[in-house]
């Protein structure tokens, strides 16, 4: 069973291209995300919408890092700790989480 992952390319009402990702991202399917990001061309930053992703690990992070200069992200609070800890929030814009949203394993408040 491969990890469930859906990748949909759409446009926002303002014409901005969006890659909408839903499901879970791990080493078994990070390649598919990389392919989708590589294929999508266009001017300006590509918006990658991760709000429907409920699992993201270092394999997915590595793909996002490799495309960090041409993407911006929309995420959900569940992903906040990994995005912050990995430092991705410092090299690309992430919407949908608190900018200071740090999290550690010992703190689930």
Partner 1 sequence: MTRGDDAERGPVAAAGAGIFTVDDEVGRDLAMVDWRATPLGPPSEWPQSLQTTVSILLSSRFSMWMAWGPELTFFCNAAYRRDTLGRKYPWALGRPAREVWAEIWDDIGPRIDAVLATGEATWDEALLLFLKRAGYPEETYHTFSYSPLRDDTGAVVGMLCVVSEVTDGVIGERRMATLRDLGSDPSVVRTEQEMLAFACRQLDRNPHDLPFTLTYLFDDHGRARLAGATGISAGHPSAPVTLPLGDPGGVWPAAALAQGKSVLMALDGTRFAGLPSGDWPEPPAQALVVPLLQQGGVPHGFLVAALNRYRPLDDGYRGFIELAAGHVAAGVASARSYQAQQRRAEELAELDRAKTVFFSNISHEFRTPLTLIMGPVQELRTALTDADEQVRQDLEVVHRNGLRLGKLVNTLLDFSRIEAGRMQARYEPVDLAAVTAELASVFRSAIDRAGLVFEVNCPPLAEPVYIDRGMWEKVVLNLLSNALKFTFEGSVGVTVRAEGAHAVVTVTDTGIGVPAEEVPRLFERFHRIESARSRSNEGSGIGLALVQELVGLHGGTITAGSVAGEGTTFTIRLPFGSGHLPAGSLVPPRAAEVVSATADPFVEEALRWLPGDGVAAEATAPAGVSTGAQPSASGEGAPARVLIADDNADMREYLVRLLKGAGYLVSAVSDGQQALDAIRADAPDLVVSDVMMPRLDGLALVAALRADPRTAGVPVLLLSARAGQEASIEGLEAGADDYLVKPFSAAELLARARANVELARMRGHHARWRNAMIDSLQEAFFVADENGAVIEINSAFTDILGYGPEGLPYIPRYPWWPDESDDPQAHAKVAEVFARLVGDGRGSAVVPVTHRDGHRLWIAATFNDVSDPDTGRRRVVGTMRDVTAERYLVQRESALAALSMRVSQADDLTDALCEALEALQGVWHARQVLAAVWNGDGPPDLVCVPEASGWQDLPERSREKLEALREQPPLRPVAPEAGGAGVTLEYPGGLLAVWIDLGQNRPFTGEDQTLLALLAGHLGQGLHRVHQLDQQREAAVALQRAILGPARLPSGFAVRYEPAGRPLEVGGDWYDIVPLAEERIGIVVGDCVGRGLEAAAVMGQLRSACRALLLQDAGPAQVFSALDRFAALVPGAKCTTVFCGVLDTATGDLVYSSAGHPPGILAHADGSVVLLEGGRSTPLAVRPGHPRPEARCTVPARSTLLLYTDGLVERRRRPLTAGIDQASAAVQAGRSTPIEDLAADVMADLAPDGGFNDDVALLLYRQPAPLELAFPAESRQLAPVRTALRDWLSRCQLTPKLIQNVLVAAGEACANAIEHGHRHAPGRTIRLRAVATAGSLHLTVADSGRWKPPQPEANLHRGRGVALMRALMHEVTIHPGAAGTIVDMHARITR
Instruction: Give the footprint of partner 1 on this chain (CB under 8 A).
Output: 1-4, 24, 26-28, 54-59, 61-62, 65, 78, 81-82, 85-86, 103-109
* 16-49 burial code (b ≥16 CB/10 A, e <16): ebbbbbeebbeeebbebbbebbeebeeeeebbbb
Distance of closest approach, residue 47 Cβ to partner 1, in angstroms: 23
* For partner 1, the closer CB: 11 or 57: 57
Residue corresponding to tokens 């469930």: 4
The nearer residue to partner 1, 47 or 83, going by C-beta atoms, is 83
Q: How far is the CB of 44 from partner 1 (least distance, A)?
A: 26
């Amino acid at each position: 069973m491969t990890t469930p992952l859906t990748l949909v390319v759409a446009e926002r009402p303002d014409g901005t291209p969006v890659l909408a990702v839903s499901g879970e991202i791990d080493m078994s399917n990070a390649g598919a995300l990389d392919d989708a990001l590589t294929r999508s061309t266009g001017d300006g930053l590509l918006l990658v919408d991760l709000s429907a992703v409920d699992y993201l690990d270092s394999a997915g992070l590595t793909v996002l890092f490799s495309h960090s200069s041409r993407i911006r992200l929309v995420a959900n609070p569940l992903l906040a700790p990994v995005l912050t800890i990995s430092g991705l929030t410092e090299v690309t814009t992430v919407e949908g989480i608190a900018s200071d949203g740090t999290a550690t394993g010992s703190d689930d408040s």
